[in-house]
Amino acid sequence: MAKINAPFKGDIVGSFLRPQALKIAREQFLRDGISELTLRAIEDAEIRELVRKGSWY
């Protein structure tokens, strides 16, 4: 069976749920459990993971 390449590319439209790790990190930040720098590092890591997951197309 021949592979057919579609003449279009799909895009992801909409919102993603916040990962549990991010929810926990933000809660810790609000309670002075972690620094803003640590929170940003966790956010950046979660964004990279989301982009990695969306790179399937």
Q: Tokens 């640590």 belong to which residue?
A: 38
Q: Tokens 């969306």 belong to which residue?
A: 54
Residues found in the chain: 57
Mean pLDDT of the chain: 84
Q: Tokens 């002075």 belong to which residue?
A: 32
Domain residue ranges in the chain: 20-56
Q: Tokens 């933000």 belong to which residue?
A: 26
Distance between CA 40 and CA 47 in Å, rounded? 10
pLDDT, tens only, 24-35: 999 999 999 999
Residue 57, pLDDT > 60, answer: no
Distance between CA 54 and CA 57 in Å, rounded? 7
